[in-house]
Chain A
Amino acid sequence: AQSVSQHNHHVILSEAASLELGCNYSYGGTVNLFWYVQYPGQHLQLLLKYFSGDPLVKGIKGFEAEFIKSKFSFNLRKPSVQWSDTAEYFCAVTSGSARQLTFGSGTQLTVLP
């Protein structure tokens, strides 16, 4: 069975700091990878996705993620965070014949003004 690990449960940064959130998955075959964000009181929104091709994908709001197949990783990055980036971030994967998302446990990001 596939699984997703997010190593950081809570990250606190000051505005303008750089962000990197870790995500590792366990599955030996082809995967589709996603990052979703959940702002306080709002629904899950898609930040970015990787299906194939260029392993560096860019998403909304200045976020990007890099798929490193050899490390089974899909880390999320942003060069300079803003207070409005305060939210919970979820890494998720679909793989093989599975049509459902398997989510990581989430990382709560708090950006201090």
Chain B
Amino acid sequence: KAGVTQTPRYLIKTRGQQVTLSCSPISGHRSVSWYQQTPGQGLQFLFEYFSETQRNKGNFPGRFSGRQFSNSRSEMNVSTLELGDSALYLCASSSDGTYGNTIYFGEGSWLTVV
């Protein structure tokens, strides 16, 4: 069974631009969450979607947004990019996101903002 798939794997953007990252969860998984990984802040939760609804949100500015489609695929968007947004963005999926479910991660999208 295929794992969590993220695209693109690597991208470079200019400060002020926006970026959209895509995530396909494991087949049958309905919960998708996003995390940001940086050397300074470590792994931080961005948001979680289930059945096209955002259920949880981390402590990130409104420039960070996401959505989930009816097939459970998800996208996250970062507008007005800042240098500090350079990070590895990880998508994770679980069957329904309830307490006690295992969360599986994709390989991530490396974003560099210049």
Contact = CB atoms under 8 A, between A and B. Distances in A.
Nearest to B90: A44
A103 interface: yes
What is the predominant secondary structure among interface residues of chain B facing chain A?
strand
A42 B105 contact: no
Interface residues of B, number: 24
A99 B42 contact: no
Contact of A90 (B43, B55, B108): B43
Interface string A95-113: 0111111111110000000
A22 B63 CA distance: 36
B31 interface: yes
Interface string B33-76: 10100000011110010000001101000000000000000000
A97 to B, nearest CB: 7
B98 A103 contact: no
Nearest to B97: A99
B114 to A, nearest CB: 22
Contacts of B42: 103-106
A101 B99 CA distance: 10
A100 B56 contact: yes
Given A43-B107, A100-B56, A94 B45 contact: no
Interface of A: 32, 34, 36, 42-46, 49, 51, 90, 92, 94, 96-106
19 contacts: A32-B99, A34-B103, A43-B105, A43-B107, A46-B104, A49-B102, A90-B43, A94-B99, A96-B99, A98-B56, A98-B99, A99-B98, A99-B99, A100-B58, A101-B92, A101-B103, A103-B43, A106-B42, A106-B43
